A and B are shown apart, each in its own frame.
Chain A
Amino acid sequence: MKKFFKSALARGLLWQLVGTLVGGGFVTGIRAVMGLEALGRFGFSEPAWVFGGLIGTLTFLGGSGVVSDWVKWARGIPTHDHHEDPPGWEKFINVSLDHKVIGIQYTLTALIVLGLGGTFALIFRTELAASGLQFLNGSQYNTMVGLHGIVMIVAILLGIAGMMNYLVPLLIGAADMAFPRLNAFSYWITIPAAIWLVSSLFLGGFDTGWTGYPPLSARAPVGMQMFFLAVFVVGWSSILGGLNLLVSVARMRAKGMTSFRLPIFVWASIATSLISLTATQLIGLSFQMVMFQRLFGMGFFDPAKGGNPVLFQHLFWFYSHPAVYVFILPGLGIISELLPVFVRKPLFGYRWVAMSSLGIALVGFLVWAHHMFTSGMNEYLRVPFMYSTLLVAVPTGVKFFSWVATIWGGKIETPTPMLFVLGGVVVFLLGGLSGPPNATVSTDLHLHDTYFIVGHFHDTMFGGFVFPFFAALYYWFPKATGRRMNEFLGKVHFWLMTPSFLVLTLGMMRIGLLGMRRRISDYDAALGFDTTHLVLTVAGFLIFTSVLVFVYNLFRSMKKGEIATGNLWNSRSPEWQVDSPIPAHNYAQPFEVVGEPYDYGLPGSKFVEFAKPKP
């Protein structure tokens, strides 16, 4: 406990509270002096909450100490590059510059946030189990749905950041990321953001769903502003994380690691980071514009002042479509990374797979308006966006083709990580197949805003993120801890989650096709959806249970797991050629790349060669 109260986390949170009160109090004071309404329904007035939130975020950063080296630089004081962490668990709640610690911090935070988002889902899923209103009112229901969506997105962003941070420097043979302090900053800034996100629950909530479209978002309660603020702040984490990763890969690769000898996961991370680096700014901008519209009456999206609500959707989807590839590209990279290990065959079409990530990312920038076919945007835009969207299926298909061809004729082993890889492939296939009907204007006019869409994107996100994320956790857990996770519990997790999940999303698509609208708290019993909804709710609870099994396994294995310090999976990748866990600053001896990364099963072939230790 004492260690907690002295940690960077505790200090940051305390300072966040202080900063928020001071910032909010300052605006309240000014408003009182100017004769404006000083207080609002939630204590502070809306401007006071926003300003307080901003100041609180900054004081969190100051208080936690994550910016102290930069402050020293600004004052002309040099700092040490090498930096030691305390040995125990407390390094995870203190500022560390080690990319592996930061990766684990991201991952643990992602799991916590994932659990939170899942809880929100169970709450509104329970409400939907029968027609009629059970225990939520309309605005509570809306807040739950919206929070579920955005909290899960944050969880995914944290999860991919966790994987990329932990793995990429190891895979390319770097001692750390290019900018370790920026890396720590990118992680720590998500904590105040997560708090603002949840705070919206207590500030009237918001009823727009995760998309925050005006005009509704221009008049929702104060919770809307906290939602915007939180996403804005998380956005910076994404931007700076992406920047850091791109620079690291460009500048810190081991000798001999040319473009086409980079592990596929690194290619996927590059593609992801290019999107986060650039497109994220536009969701930030669009949210900022709604915030200002609410605070200062600026008329951007207010038709009465000559504004245009559809402009918001363009800015929003210009990020949020590419963002869905941010969610999945790392996961698809994990699939390509692990498949060859478990079928003991080379990855089929390495170059094509590497390029397909970039292809998906680039084409992904040209398709955003497929979310807006019914928005009232100019009609002549529909067909071009329909075709550009269908074009994304090509590079995505390349990946599938490679996976299938890699599996073909291989000796398949199915330990838990491989199960999740295979599950991911199947689920992502369903997601991918349900995409083109949404992209085709004629069918989308019917499907838009129904549960079919909800089924579609859950399949893509589970197949592209959740399954591979679990695969990665089971696979690299021994690398991080020196112990392996329990296989039996892992299999329980998989076999409980996968069928429940398929029932859930296929059921969603079914009622969606029959006309069930999304984001609606009630439905007419005459539609005959009661039974299906009940089944979906049960499936939801089963998925949650399976995740609890996972969490139990995780904590149990940290202490009691079977010791596994060697090359457990018989992998060619450099991080498995040294003992687990890997110490700070990674490899004691540098390695050189001397062959192809995925030549599994070819006798005598080598990917990396370590330098001889100096006598």
Chain B
Amino acid sequence: MAHTNQSEALRLGITIFIFLALLTALEFVVALALNSIPLLVVVALVKAGLVMYYYMHIYKLQQESGGGHDSYEYKTGTNRLGLWLFLLSDSFVFGGLLVSRFNLLGFTRPHLSQVLGLVVTVVLLVSSFFMNRAETQMAHGNKKGFLGNTLVTILLGAGFVIGVVGVEWQLAAAEGIRASSMVDGGIFYMMTGMHAFHVLTGVLFLWIVYRNARKDVYSAEKHWGVEAATVYWHFVDVVWIFFYPALYLIGSVA
């Protein structure tokens, strides 16, 4: 981020956010109007690609980290590779869940509240925007900006979990979609539960980083902890980019 100044970074963050929002809207409309699965897949892939490139900075994996093997920079490069390998590993869990979902339910989907689904999706998307803001502020040494934006992210993340577990699960249960009813219930709770668990760990991670930032553990040059929490947070968002259409949009209601 060294080569961009603050306002440029802000502009980029907003642009990406707008793109993501438009694509989400497109997804919703496509699902209602066309029900075209290939199109939904393409949109999800584009969204994930945008997040991974602009918010998670996957290209940093390729950057040569100068300095000796003992330098902070080189160690950060090592940590970064470790984190991404972890995410690769984790994505096999989510991949396995998607495979199970299509194996068991085919192109039908459980009867869920469309409005609520869209709302929580938007909440998570907005949280990603604030997360990006927070990281940028840290990279520019603006501690106050970092703390504010992180706090908003944490609140939105908590809002997402409450929306899914506190509201959506109750609504679904009232509709007769229970864990122990037919298998669409099992899949629904397993997928949303596994994802919500990751959101919770992300919130915890952010909270730790937030507290440490208040103690001035990080600086504009050295803030691997912040970068890691950020990348993890966006990863959880990427997962939802695939889970949302898989649960709410693809196929027809059973």
Could you tell me which A residues sit within 8 Å of B by CB distance? 73-76, 178-179, 182, 239, 243-244, 246-247, 250-252, 277-282, 284-286, 289, 292-293, 296-300, 302, 305-308, 311, 314-315, 318
Contact = CB atoms under 8 A, between A and B. Distances in A.
B81 interface: yes
Contacts of A306: 104, 182-184
Given A179-B82, A298-B186, A299-B185, A285 B96 contact: yes
B134 to A, nearest CB: 17
B89 A278 contact: yes
A75 B212 CA distance: 7
B78 interface: yes
Given A75-B211, A289-B100, 13 more contacts: A244-B82, A246-B85, A247-B78, A251-B74, A281-B89, A282-B93, A284-B93, A292-B186, A296-B189, A299-B182, A305-B182, A311-B104, A318-B96
Interface string B156-177: 0000000000000000000000
A247 B179 contact: no
B97 to A, nearest CB: 7
Contacts of A280: 89
A443 B24 CA distance: 52
A368 to B, nearest CB: 12
A286 B187 CA distance: 13
A447 to B, nearest CB: 28
B149 to A, nearest CB: 19
B69 A252 contact: yes
Most central of A244, A280, A298, A300 by chain B CB within 10 Å = A298
B77 interface: yes
B100 A311 contact: yes
> Which DSSP category, helix, strand, loop or mixed, fits chain B's interface?
helix
A76 B185 contact: no
A76 B211 contact: yes
A285 to B, nearest CB: 4
A277 B100 contact: no
A296 B186 CA distance: 9
B71 interface: no
B7 interface: no
Interface of B: 69, 74, 77-78, 81-82, 85-86, 88-90, 92-93, 96-97, 99-100, 103-104, 179-187, 189-190, 208, 211-212, 215, 217, 225
A243 B93 CA distance: 16
Contacts of A243: 82, 85-86, 89
Nearest to B218: A76
B90 A281 contact: yes
Nearest to B96: A285
A328 B139 CA distance: 46
Contacts of A299: 180-183, 185-186
A277 B104 contact: no
Nearest to A306: B183
Given A289-B100, A299-B183, A281 B85 contact: no
Given A179-B82, A247-B85, A307-B104, A302 B183 contact: yes
Contact of A277 (B89, B182, B186, B217): B89
21 contacts: A73-B225, A74-B208, A76-B211, A178-B82, A243-B86, A243-B89, A251-B77, A251-B78, A277-B89, A281-B96, A282-B92, A285-B93, A285-B96, A292-B186, A300-B100, A300-B186, A305-B182, A306-B104, A311-B100, A314-B103, A315-B100
A246 B84 CA distance: 12
Specify which of A178, A280, A281 lies most central, judged by the most chain B CB atoms within 10 Å of its CB. A281
